[in-house]
Structure 1
């Protein structure tokens, strides 16, 4: 009995130690992101689900070392138009099939849990807005910026109810403003207040997810709401909300394609193949806003005409990170450090891919 029990006990102790270590790591990173996600959202994010092209849910497991050499793992969000469309069209699978490689997909509700999955080694490549990679870098996640999407400063704004007496950003002083903490809209709010001569600490900050913020905004429990498309377009259509200011001249509102450093180092050819296919779908989206709106409508639960408004005021492309783009992203990082959303200063240029996109 003893000879059988002793090894099992050692294994159990080792497993428990590793489990506690991983739990502490995830808790630390989750606190750093602090984006106002609900507990349910965070739990679902920690257990991402993948689906095949038919839409049937499947359990996604990290591939073994034996299969990782022939499998490219993509993390996506439904609101990330290009990757969602790339998955649905099956074109990436076709591009890799000739070399005997395969593709798996894992869906996430937001950028922060997507990047935690990248940190855990569950995915190789993904797309988020401008803020999540800043938090990820501050948290020590080994990721690389590989390209950017221009999106559009017109695709995010600070809204007020249609009958609100507030006419300028300066009038937000002392008022309740809803936004997702650590999001691109958070950055817009900071810069808009700064331009108007109002301290960030002079407003009543109400940090909520888009769905919760929409509810309190409609009930007029907040005075303003900083939000991005397509939620922006949906709120305008449903409530007649008035745009106080958009991000033009204040915030770039870009999106970024990101990859695990290990993937970039070990599989540069696979990375370029992924980016080639992203480029093709991006060009389709840029030239077909109506088709994109119809395609996204069932997945997002937003009417196609509303989505088309959002599509027509955003830009699509996949571009290399220039010094100008890196400088602007550094400004976002510096702003978040200044208002203590990240615990230390970071240098964005230290994690920018040095490879080149195919033309």
Structure 2
């Protein structure tokens, strides 16, 4: 056999071996340490609003490794959200994480070696809640007011973009750094005038504690937020087979969470976090589940992160340029979609957010 042919033959055999291992039992003990950049109400150990939360709450990942006694799962939920996840990754305490766009960009700018494997919570809405006595009716009314913001999370960048669209900057507002639970309490006591946050503020509106005067629903999608599943480069290199099976399990969770027949069941799963199912029902009103629960890495997602990176630099939220090239690895999710027979389940979108007419 000629040398070139021999090299091709060896390469094909090696590829076949990798594929075989990826579908087989894990050959050595391994603990999958999975972190969430969120935590439930009252420190409940559940996430919400994304497919990684379904992966956990419905034991889909546990089922994937049911016949692998040497595989252990360790779930961690971080009150400190994205910044806390970055710290845990930097300290070698996590292998996978559910994280938002801005904190992951900050981590990458600071040298964290990670790979984005799948989307997990796209186009999340941003809400502005105000105290009833504040008199605030719009974004423009925030100038000079005390406003809570969970800094370092993907809420901060979305907020900055929204303010810029209304001719404001962070310097025009008296921002106070608060996590979600603290901001909720501060709204109730009137210690702040307003707070930017997530869909859980809808419950405060229903209780009369605060009024939601703005949300990104129906506004420019550029103001929405995204999150994803990432893995450390070290874990992916050491366990490519396990990495693929984690992504495959996430795709299964995304398929279940994108099925309109499961709409109410999805909201009930997320309600395990302590956020009422009605909140998710209102947040997703008029939107298909698959529109926000797609796991696909498409042109829209990559372009959105590129835009976030540039804006984060402009707002001085990251150090220098953040390179997006080589960060996304769609091969795992694309393979899982094909193997599970889910082609066509989710739509792909181009860089401008327009649905693509044909699969890439």
Q: Which runs of 5+ in 1 are unaligned?
A: 1-65
Give 2:116's match in structure 1, choosing from 145, 155, 162.
Answer: 145
Give 2:307's match in structure 1, choosing from 317, 331, 334.
Answer: 331
Deviations 1:35-83 (A, max 9, x none): xxxxxxxxxxxxxxxxxxxxxxxxxxxxxxx996544332235224533
Q: 1:174 to 1:67 in 2, by over 3 A?
A: farther
Normalised to the residue count of structure 2, the TM-score between the two structures is 0.71
Aligned length in residues: 291
Q: 1:340 to 1:105 in 2, by over 3 A?
A: same
Give 1:340's match in structure 2, choosing from 316, 325, 344.
Answer: 316
Give 2:77's match in structure 1, choosing from 96, 103, 108.
Answer: 108
Displacement of 1:281 in angstroms is 1.5
- 2:94 aligned partner: 123
More helix by share: 1
Q: 1:168 to 1:296 in 2, by over 3 A?
A: closer
Q: Map of 1:3-152 to 2, 5 A cutoff?
A: 70-76=30-36, 77=38, 78-80=46-48, 81-98=50-67, 101-109=70-78, 110-152=81-123
Does residue 192 (structure 1) correspond to residue 153 (structure 2)? The answer is no
- 2:176 aligned partner: 206
Q: Contact 1:70–1:101 (CA<8 Å) still a contact in 2?
A: yes
Q: 1:208 to 1:219 in 2, by over 3 A?
A: same
Runs of 4+ in 1 over 6 A off after TM superposition: none
Displacement of 1:210 in angstroms is 0.9
Deviations 1:76-131 (A, max 9, x none): 35224533432343332332344565131221222332333333333321211222
Give 1:180's match in structure 2, choosing from 143, 150, 170.
Answer: 150
- For 1:293 and 1:322, how far apart are their aligned partners in 2? 26
Give 2:237's match in structure 1, choosing from 248, 254, 265.
Answer: 265
Deviations 1:199-256 (A, max 9, x none): 3211111111111111222233323211012x22222222251322426314231111
Displacement of 1:334 in angstroms is 2.6
Give secondary structure in 1 for the equivalent of 2:32. strand
- For 1:150 and 1:187, how far apart are their aligned partners in 2? 16
